[in-house]
Homo-oligomer: A and B are copies of this chain.
Amino acid sequence: MIHLNANDLALAKSLAQLKAASGSHSPSIATLKEALPSLKITIDACFLSNPYATDLFMQELESKLLAKQGLRDALEFYPSQNHIIAQKLAKYLHIDSPHIFIGNGAIEVIQAVLHNFVQTNLVVPIPTFSSYYEFVRNDAKVLLYKLPKEQNYTLDIEAYTKFIQDHNAKNALLINPNNPDGGYIPYDTLRECLARLRHLDTIIIDESFLHFAYEDSSLEQISYTKLAQEFSNVVLIKSMSKDFGVAGLRAGYGIMAENRVRDLLRNGYLWNVNGLSEFFFNLFCDDEFLQKYERVRRSYITQTQEFFKALGQINSIKTYPSRANFALIELLNGTKAQDLCIKLLSSYGIYTRSCSDKIGLEGEFLRIASRSEQENAQILQALQEIFSAC
Protein backbone atom coordinates (compact mmCIF):
# COMPACT_ATOMS: atom_id res chain seq x y z
CA MET A 1 0.00 0.00 0.00
CA ILE A 2 1.07 3.56 -0.70
CA HIS A 3 1.17 5.82 2.32
CA LEU A 4 0.11 9.41 1.75
CA ASN A 5 1.14 12.10 4.22
CA ALA A 6 -0.81 15.25 5.11
CA ASN A 7 0.71 17.21 2.22
CA ASP A 8 -0.16 14.42 -0.20
CA LEU A 9 -3.74 14.40 1.02
CA ALA A 10 -4.02 18.18 0.64
CA LEU A 11 -2.65 17.88 -2.89
CA ALA A 12 -5.14 15.09 -3.63
CA LYS A 13 -7.97 17.35 -2.52
CA SER A 14 -6.82 20.30 -4.66
CA LEU A 15 -6.36 18.06 -7.67
CA ALA A 16 -9.80 16.52 -7.22
CA GLN A 17 -11.32 20.01 -7.29
CA LEU A 18 -9.42 20.98 -10.44
CA LYS A 19 -10.33 17.66 -12.00
CA ALA A 20 -14.01 18.18 -11.21
CA ALA A 21 -13.85 21.48 -13.10
CA SER A 22 -12.18 19.82 -16.10
CA GLY A 23 -14.86 17.27 -16.91
CA SER A 24 -13.55 13.97 -18.23
CA HIS A 25 -10.13 15.40 -18.95
CA SER A 26 -7.03 16.18 -16.96
CA PRO A 27 -6.51 19.83 -16.05
CA SER A 28 -3.86 21.31 -18.36
CA ILE A 29 -0.36 21.97 -17.10
CA ALA A 30 -1.06 25.71 -17.46
CA THR A 31 -4.19 25.41 -15.32
CA LEU A 32 -2.34 23.32 -12.71
CA LYS A 33 0.58 25.75 -12.52
CA GLU A 34 -1.74 28.69 -11.99
CA ALA A 35 -3.88 26.97 -9.39
CA LEU A 36 -1.04 25.26 -7.52
CA PRO A 37 2.04 27.46 -7.98
CA SER A 38 4.03 25.59 -5.32
CA LEU A 39 3.61 22.28 -7.13
CA LYS A 40 6.70 21.25 -9.10
CA ILE A 41 5.88 19.19 -12.20
CA THR A 42 9.09 17.97 -13.76
CA ILE A 43 7.67 15.31 -16.08
CA ASP A 44 4.28 15.52 -17.76
CA ALA A 45 3.55 11.85 -18.40
CA CYS A 46 -0.10 12.70 -18.78
CA PHE A 47 0.62 14.37 -22.08
CA LEU A 48 0.74 11.98 -25.01
CA SER A 49 3.27 13.55 -27.34
CA ASN A 50 6.65 12.87 -28.91
CA PRO A 51 9.00 15.36 -27.21
CA TYR A 52 11.66 14.91 -29.93
CA ALA A 53 9.13 16.10 -32.51
CA THR A 54 8.60 19.18 -30.35
CA ASP A 55 12.39 19.75 -30.36
CA LEU A 56 12.32 19.51 -34.15
CA PHE A 57 9.38 21.89 -34.49
CA MET A 58 11.01 24.45 -32.21
CA GLN A 59 14.20 24.30 -34.32
CA GLU A 60 12.19 24.85 -37.51
CA LEU A 61 10.27 27.70 -35.90
CA GLU A 62 13.51 29.32 -34.78
CA SER A 63 15.32 29.07 -38.12
CA LYS A 64 12.39 29.60 -40.50
CA LEU A 65 10.22 32.11 -38.66
CA LEU A 66 11.76 33.72 -35.57
CA ALA A 67 15.21 34.29 -37.09
CA LYS A 68 13.57 35.78 -40.17
CA GLN A 69 11.51 38.26 -38.14
CA GLY A 70 8.36 36.47 -39.29
CA LEU A 71 6.61 36.13 -35.93
CA ARG A 72 4.86 39.48 -36.04
CA ASP A 73 3.34 38.81 -39.47
CA ALA A 74 2.15 35.39 -38.31
CA LEU A 75 0.37 36.90 -35.29
CA GLU A 76 -0.81 40.21 -36.74
CA PHE A 77 -2.46 39.13 -39.99
CA TYR A 78 -5.30 36.78 -40.80
CA PRO A 79 -4.20 33.27 -41.57
CA SER A 80 -5.30 31.55 -44.78
CA GLN A 81 -8.70 29.95 -45.14
CA ASN A 82 -9.41 26.29 -44.44
CA HIS A 83 -9.25 25.08 -48.05
CA ILE A 84 -5.92 26.82 -48.64
CA ILE A 85 -4.36 25.01 -45.68
CA ALA A 86 -5.88 21.75 -46.99
CA GLN A 87 -3.92 22.22 -50.20
CA LYS A 88 -0.68 22.31 -48.20
CA LEU A 89 -1.45 18.96 -46.57
CA ALA A 90 -2.76 17.27 -49.71
CA LYS A 91 0.62 16.24 -51.07
CA TYR A 92 1.75 14.81 -47.75
CA LEU A 93 -1.49 12.88 -47.28
CA HIS A 94 -1.61 11.61 -50.88
CA ILE A 95 -5.19 12.67 -51.40
CA ASP A 96 -6.85 15.55 -53.22
CA SER A 97 -7.40 18.62 -51.07
CA PRO A 98 -11.23 18.71 -51.39
CA HIS A 99 -11.21 15.57 -49.19
CA ILE A 100 -9.37 17.36 -46.40
CA PHE A 101 -11.01 19.36 -43.61
CA ILE A 102 -8.61 21.29 -41.40
CA GLY A 103 -9.45 21.52 -37.70
CA ASN A 104 -8.44 23.69 -34.78
CA GLY A 105 -7.16 20.50 -33.19
CA ALA A 106 -8.76 17.09 -33.77
CA ILE A 107 -11.35 17.97 -31.15
CA GLU A 108 -12.92 20.45 -33.56
CA VAL A 109 -13.05 17.80 -36.27
CA ILE A 110 -14.65 15.35 -33.82
CA GLN A 111 -17.28 17.95 -32.89
CA ALA A 112 -17.93 18.86 -36.53
CA VAL A 113 -18.30 15.23 -37.64
CA LEU A 114 -20.48 14.20 -34.69
CA HIS A 115 -22.74 17.26 -34.95
CA ASN A 116 -23.11 17.14 -38.72
CA PHE A 117 -22.89 13.54 -39.84
CA VAL A 118 -23.87 11.34 -36.91
CA GLN A 119 -27.62 11.22 -36.56
CA THR A 120 -29.67 8.49 -34.83
CA ASN A 121 -26.89 6.53 -33.11
CA LEU A 122 -23.18 5.82 -32.76
CA VAL A 123 -21.44 2.68 -31.55
CA VAL A 124 -18.51 3.54 -29.31
CA PRO A 125 -16.12 0.86 -28.04
CA ILE A 126 -15.12 1.55 -24.44
CA PRO A 127 -12.78 2.35 -22.78
CA THR A 128 -12.15 5.26 -25.11
CA PHE A 129 -11.53 9.00 -25.49
CA SER A 130 -14.59 10.43 -23.75
CA SER A 131 -15.35 13.21 -26.24
CA TYR A 132 -16.70 10.61 -28.66
CA TYR A 133 -19.64 9.93 -26.42
CA GLU A 134 -19.84 13.34 -24.77
CA PHE A 135 -19.94 15.36 -28.00
CA VAL A 136 -22.71 13.49 -29.82
CA ARG A 137 -25.79 15.51 -30.68
CA ASN A 138 -28.50 15.62 -28.08
CA ASP A 139 -30.81 13.67 -30.41
CA ALA A 140 -28.32 10.87 -31.15
CA LYS A 141 -27.96 7.75 -29.03
CA VAL A 142 -24.62 6.33 -27.94
CA LEU A 143 -24.38 2.53 -27.97
CA LEU A 144 -21.47 1.52 -25.76
CA TYR A 145 -19.63 -1.60 -26.82
CA LYS A 146 -17.52 -2.97 -24.00
CA LEU A 147 -14.06 -4.14 -25.02
CA PRO A 148 -13.28 -7.34 -23.08
CA LYS A 149 -10.76 -6.99 -20.26
CA GLU A 150 -9.87 -10.68 -20.52
CA GLN A 151 -8.64 -10.01 -24.05
CA ASN A 152 -6.61 -6.97 -23.00
CA TYR A 153 -9.35 -4.68 -24.40
CA THR A 154 -8.47 -5.78 -27.93
CA LEU A 155 -11.22 -5.22 -30.47
CA ASP A 156 -12.58 -8.44 -32.00
CA ILE A 157 -14.10 -7.55 -35.35
CA GLU A 158 -16.48 -10.54 -35.38
CA ALA A 159 -18.01 -9.52 -32.10
CA TYR A 160 -17.95 -5.80 -33.00
CA THR A 161 -19.72 -6.18 -36.34
CA LYS A 162 -22.29 -8.50 -34.72
CA PHE A 163 -22.97 -5.88 -32.02
CA ILE A 164 -23.44 -3.21 -34.69
CA GLN A 165 -25.82 -5.47 -36.64
CA ASP A 166 -27.78 -6.51 -33.55
CA HIS A 167 -28.36 -2.89 -32.58
CA ASN A 168 -29.18 -1.79 -36.12
CA ALA A 169 -26.55 0.92 -35.70
CA LYS A 170 -25.91 3.47 -38.41
CA ASN A 171 -22.55 4.83 -37.31
CA ALA A 172 -19.52 3.36 -35.57
CA LEU A 173 -16.20 4.44 -34.13
CA LEU A 174 -12.78 2.82 -34.31
CA ILE A 175 -9.75 4.37 -32.62
CA ASN A 176 -6.51 2.80 -33.72
CA PRO A 177 -4.38 2.51 -31.68
CA ASN A 178 -7.00 2.87 -28.98
CA ASN A 179 -6.81 5.35 -26.10
CA PRO A 180 -6.28 4.65 -23.14
CA ASP A 181 -4.92 1.12 -23.69
CA GLY A 182 -2.84 1.47 -26.88
CA GLY A 183 -4.35 -1.71 -28.37
CA TYR A 184 -3.73 -1.95 -32.11
CA ILE A 185 -5.86 -3.47 -34.88
CA PRO A 186 -3.62 -4.62 -37.77
CA TYR A 187 -4.22 -3.00 -41.15
CA ASP A 188 -5.72 -6.05 -42.86
CA THR A 189 -8.07 -6.70 -39.95
CA LEU A 190 -9.21 -3.10 -40.01
CA ARG A 191 -9.82 -3.29 -43.76
CA GLU A 192 -11.84 -6.47 -43.29
CA CYS A 193 -13.91 -4.70 -40.63
CA LEU A 194 -14.61 -1.77 -42.98
CA ALA A 195 -15.61 -4.16 -45.76
CA ARG A 196 -18.25 -5.63 -43.44
CA LEU A 197 -19.52 -2.19 -42.46
CA ARG A 198 -20.07 -0.74 -45.92
CA HIS A 199 -23.75 -0.36 -45.14
CA LEU A 200 -23.18 2.12 -42.30
CA ASP A 201 -23.67 5.84 -42.83
CA THR A 202 -20.38 6.75 -41.20
CA ILE A 203 -17.41 4.92 -39.76
CA ILE A 204 -15.13 7.25 -37.85
CA ILE A 205 -11.54 6.08 -37.63
CA ASP A 206 -9.52 8.11 -35.18
CA GLU A 207 -5.90 7.71 -36.25
CA SER A 208 -4.44 10.24 -33.80
CA PHE A 209 -1.85 7.76 -32.49
CA LEU A 210 -1.15 5.97 -35.76
CA HIS A 211 2.34 7.42 -36.20
CA PHE A 212 3.44 5.49 -33.10
CA ALA A 213 2.09 2.18 -34.38
CA TYR A 214 3.86 -0.27 -36.67
CA GLU A 215 2.99 -3.40 -38.58
CA ASP A 216 6.46 -4.96 -38.36
CA SER A 217 10.02 -4.18 -37.37
CA SER A 218 10.53 -1.89 -40.38
CA LEU A 219 8.46 0.72 -38.47
CA GLU A 220 7.05 2.06 -41.77
CA GLN A 221 4.49 4.83 -41.38
CA ILE A 222 0.97 3.45 -41.72
CA SER A 223 -1.60 5.42 -43.69
CA TYR A 224 -5.36 4.92 -43.95
CA THR A 225 -5.79 7.31 -46.87
CA LYS A 226 -6.41 4.41 -49.29
CA LEU A 227 -9.07 3.02 -46.99
CA ALA A 228 -10.83 6.39 -46.96
CA GLN A 229 -10.79 6.31 -50.76
CA GLU A 230 -12.01 2.71 -50.95
CA PHE A 231 -14.83 3.11 -48.42
CA SER A 232 -16.76 6.31 -48.93
CA ASN A 233 -18.46 6.11 -45.53
CA VAL A 234 -15.13 6.36 -43.72
CA VAL A 235 -14.13 9.58 -41.97
CA LEU A 236 -10.53 9.71 -40.76
CA ILE A 237 -9.79 12.01 -37.84
CA LYS A 238 -6.32 12.92 -36.75
CA SER A 239 -4.81 15.03 -34.03
CA MET A 240 -1.38 16.37 -34.91
CA SER A 241 -0.71 17.29 -31.29
CA LYS A 242 0.63 13.88 -30.41
CA ASP A 243 2.98 12.81 -33.18
CA PHE A 244 4.28 16.31 -33.85
CA GLY A 245 4.33 17.38 -30.18
CA VAL A 246 2.48 20.66 -30.73
CA ALA A 247 -0.77 20.56 -28.73
CA GLY A 248 -0.52 24.30 -28.04
CA LEU A 249 -0.75 25.05 -31.76
CA ARG A 250 -4.13 23.32 -32.18
CA ALA A 251 -3.81 21.37 -35.39
CA GLY A 252 -5.78 18.43 -36.68
CA TYR A 253 -7.56 17.27 -39.78
CA GLY A 254 -10.25 15.03 -41.15
CA ILE A 255 -10.27 13.07 -44.41
CA MET A 256 -13.72 12.36 -45.78
CA ALA A 257 -15.94 12.38 -48.85
CA GLU A 258 -15.74 15.66 -50.77
CA ASN A 259 -19.40 16.48 -50.26
CA ARG A 260 -18.93 16.26 -46.50
CA VAL A 261 -16.02 18.72 -46.53
CA ARG A 262 -18.15 21.00 -48.73
CA ASP A 263 -21.04 20.72 -46.28
CA LEU A 264 -18.83 21.72 -43.36
CA LEU A 265 -17.21 24.65 -45.17
CA ARG A 266 -20.47 25.94 -46.60
CA ASN A 267 -21.44 27.67 -43.42
CA GLY A 268 -18.48 27.58 -41.11
CA TYR A 269 -14.85 26.84 -40.27
CA LEU A 270 -13.50 29.65 -42.40
CA TRP A 271 -10.49 30.90 -40.45
CA ASN A 272 -9.98 28.20 -37.85
CA VAL A 273 -6.22 27.97 -38.29
CA ASN A 274 -3.95 30.42 -36.47
CA GLY A 275 -0.76 32.03 -37.73
CA LEU A 276 1.58 29.55 -36.05
CA SER A 277 -0.44 26.50 -37.06
CA GLU A 278 -0.33 27.81 -40.63
CA PHE A 279 3.46 27.91 -40.28
CA PHE A 280 3.28 24.31 -39.04
CA PHE A 281 1.10 23.18 -41.95
CA ASN A 282 3.56 24.82 -44.34
CA LEU A 283 6.23 22.41 -43.09
CA PHE A 284 4.37 19.55 -44.77
CA CYS A 285 5.38 20.98 -48.14
CA ASP A 286 9.03 20.65 -47.08
CA ASP A 287 10.66 17.28 -47.81
CA GLU A 288 13.63 18.05 -45.60
CA PHE A 289 11.36 18.58 -42.62
CA LEU A 290 9.49 15.35 -43.38
CA GLN A 291 12.75 13.39 -43.51
CA LYS A 292 13.87 14.81 -40.17
CA TYR A 293 10.46 14.07 -38.69
CA GLU A 294 10.61 10.47 -39.90
CA ARG A 295 13.88 9.99 -38.03
CA VAL A 296 12.53 11.30 -34.72
CA ARG A 297 9.34 9.29 -35.17
CA ARG A 298 11.24 6.02 -35.53
CA SER A 299 13.71 6.58 -32.73
CA TYR A 300 10.86 7.59 -30.41
CA ILE A 301 8.95 4.37 -31.20
CA THR A 302 12.04 2.30 -30.40
CA GLN A 303 12.58 4.09 -27.07
CA THR A 304 8.88 3.88 -26.28
CA GLN A 305 8.70 0.14 -26.80
CA GLU A 306 11.82 -0.33 -24.62
CA PHE A 307 10.13 1.74 -21.93
CA PHE A 308 7.01 -0.44 -22.08
CA LYS A 309 9.14 -3.59 -21.85
CA ALA A 310 10.81 -2.24 -18.70
CA LEU A 311 7.43 -1.24 -17.25
CA GLY A 312 6.35 -4.85 -17.82
CA GLN A 313 9.17 -6.03 -15.50
CA ILE A 314 7.88 -4.14 -12.47
CA ASN A 315 6.18 -6.29 -9.88
CA SER A 316 2.62 -5.57 -8.79
CA ILE A 317 1.56 -3.95 -12.04
CA LYS A 318 0.33 -5.28 -15.36
CA THR A 319 1.34 -3.33 -18.47
CA TYR A 320 -1.13 -3.75 -21.31
CA PRO A 321 0.29 -4.29 -24.81
CA SER A 322 0.45 -0.91 -26.58
CA ARG A 323 1.43 0.32 -30.02
CA ALA A 324 0.65 3.89 -29.07
CA ASN A 325 2.97 6.20 -27.11
CA PHE A 326 1.36 5.49 -23.76
CA ALA A 327 0.87 2.41 -21.65
CA LEU A 328 -2.13 1.46 -19.60
CA ILE A 329 -0.98 -0.12 -16.37
CA GLU A 330 -3.18 -1.97 -13.93
CA LEU A 331 -2.32 -2.03 -10.24
CA LEU A 332 -2.54 -5.57 -8.93
CA ASN A 333 -1.60 -5.35 -5.27
CA GLY A 334 -4.54 -3.36 -3.97
CA THR A 335 -2.95 0.03 -4.56
CA LYS A 336 -5.40 2.74 -5.59
CA ALA A 337 -4.60 4.41 -8.91
CA GLN A 338 -5.38 7.80 -7.41
CA ASP A 339 -2.89 7.23 -4.58
CA LEU A 340 -0.15 6.24 -7.01
CA CYS A 341 -0.89 9.35 -9.08
CA ILE A 342 -0.55 11.59 -6.04
CA LYS A 343 2.63 9.86 -4.85
CA LEU A 344 4.26 10.18 -8.29
CA LEU A 345 3.33 13.84 -8.40
CA SER A 346 4.20 14.87 -4.85
CA SER A 347 7.43 12.89 -4.40
CA TYR A 348 8.76 12.77 -7.97
CA GLY A 349 7.07 15.64 -9.85
CA ILE A 350 5.65 13.14 -12.34
CA TYR A 351 2.14 13.94 -13.61
CA THR A 352 0.18 10.90 -14.83
CA ARG A 353 -3.41 10.15 -15.73
CA SER A 354 -5.40 8.10 -13.25
CA CYS A 355 -8.03 6.25 -15.25
CA SER A 356 -10.42 5.65 -12.36
CA ASP A 357 -13.05 7.74 -14.15
CA LYS A 358 -12.77 5.98 -17.52
CA ILE A 359 -15.93 4.07 -18.25
CA GLY A 360 -15.24 0.55 -19.52
CA LEU A 361 -12.26 -0.06 -17.23
CA GLU A 362 -12.72 -2.25 -14.23
CA GLY A 363 -9.92 -2.11 -11.73
CA GLU A 364 -7.23 0.36 -10.78
CA PHE A 365 -5.61 1.85 -13.86
CA LEU A 366 -3.06 4.51 -14.72
CA ARG A 367 -2.06 5.74 -18.15
CA ILE A 368 1.58 6.68 -18.50
CA ALA A 369 2.93 8.51 -21.55
CA SER A 370 6.34 7.76 -22.98
CA ARG A 371 8.43 10.92 -22.80
CA SER A 372 12.15 11.40 -23.51
CA GLU A 373 14.55 8.52 -22.81
CA GLN A 374 15.81 10.26 -19.69
CA GLU A 375 12.34 11.05 -18.41
CA ASN A 376 11.21 7.49 -19.03
CA ALA A 377 14.16 6.29 -16.94
CA GLN A 378 13.07 8.59 -14.11
CA ILE A 379 9.49 7.31 -14.32
CA LEU A 380 10.73 3.72 -14.16
CA GLN A 381 12.93 4.46 -11.17
CA ALA A 382 10.06 6.17 -9.34
CA LEU A 383 7.73 3.23 -9.91
CA GLN A 384 10.40 0.74 -8.86
CA GLU A 385 11.01 2.68 -5.64
CA ILE A 386 7.32 2.97 -4.87
CA PHE A 387 6.53 -0.68 -5.47
CA SER A 388 9.61 -2.05 -3.74
CA ALA A 389 8.58 -0.07 -0.63
CA CYS A 390 5.01 -1.37 -0.77
Q: Which residues of A contact B (CB under 8 A)?
A: 21-23, 25, 28-31, 44, 47, 49, 51, 54, 57-58, 61, 71-81, 83-84, 104-105, 107-108, 111, 114-115, 131, 134-138, 241, 245-250, 267-278
Set of chain B residues within 8 Å of A131, measured between Cβ atoms: 270
A248 to B276 alpha-carbon distance, docked (Å): 8
Set of chain B residues within 8 Å of A245, measured between Cβ atoms: 76
Set of chain B residues within 8 Å of A267, measured between Cβ atoms: 111, 114-115, 134-138
A137 to B104 alpha-carbon distance, docked (Å): 21
A104 to B54 alpha-carbon distance, docked (Å): 23
Q: How many copies does the complex hold?
A: 2
A75-B25 contact, Cβ under 8 Å, with A104-B272, A135-B268, A276-B276: no
Set of chain B residues within 8 Å of A276, measured between Cβ atoms: 75, 248, 274, 276
Instruction: Considering the complex, give the chain B residue whose CB is closest to the CB of A108.
Output: B272
Kindly identify which residue among B31, B81, B107, B249 contacts A84, using a CB–CB cutoff of 8 Å.
B31
Kindly identify which residue among B108, B136, B268, B274 contacts A115, using a CB–CB cutoff of 8 Å.
B268
Contact A77–B271 (Cβ < 8 Å): no
Contact B58–A248 (Cβ < 8 Å): no
Set of chain B residues within 8 Å of A249, measured between Cβ atoms: 75, 274-275
Nearest CB on B from A279, distance (A): 9
Q: With A51-B76, A74-B248 given, can you name 5 additional A-B contacts, CB distance below 8 Å?
A: A75-B246, A75-B248, A75-B249, A77-B248, A78-B247
Contact A28–B274 (Cβ < 8 Å): no
Set of chain B residues within 8 Å of A138, measured between Cβ atoms: 267
Nearest CB on B from A137, distance (A): 7
Contact A28–B247 (Cβ < 8 Å): no
A272 to B110 alpha-carbon distance, docked (Å): 12
Nearest CB on B from A273, distance (A): 8
Instruction: Considering the complex, give the chain B residue whose CB is closest to the CB of A77.
Output: B29
Contact A73–B29 (Cβ < 8 Å): yes
Instruction: Considering the complex, give the chain B residue whose CB is closest to the CB of A88.
Output: B34
Kindly identify which residue among B31, B57, B274 contacts A248, using a CB–CB cutoff of 8 Å.
B274
Kindly identify which residue among B72, B246, B278 contacts A76, using a CB–CB cutoff of 8 Å.
B246
Set of chain B residues within 8 Å of A114, measured between Cβ atoms: 267
Instruction: Considering the complex, give the chain B residue whose CB is closest to the CB of A54.
Output: B76
A194 to B270 alpha-carbon distance, docked (Å): 30
Q: Which of A21, A61, A271, A276 has the most CB of B within 10 A?
A: A271
Kindly identify which residue among B61, B80, B248 contacts A30, using a CB–CB cutoff of 8 Å.
B80
Instruction: Considering the complex, give the chain B residue whose CB is closest to the CB of A265.
Output: B23
Sampled A-B contacts (30; CB under 8 Å): A22-B81, A28-B77, A28-B78, A28-B80, A29-B73, A30-B77, A31-B81, A44-B77, A47-B78, A51-B76, A54-B75, A74-B248, A75-B246, A75-B276, A76-B247, A77-B248, A78-B247, A78-B248, A79-B250, A104-B108, A107-B272, A134-B267, A247-B275, A248-B274, A248-B275, A248-B276, A248-B278, A249-B275, A250-B272, A250-B273
Q: Which of A44, A73, A246, A276 has the most CB of B within 10 A?
A: A276
A313 to B49 alpha-carbon distance, docked (Å): 59
A270-B25 contact, Cβ under 8 Å, with A74-B248, A75-B248: yes
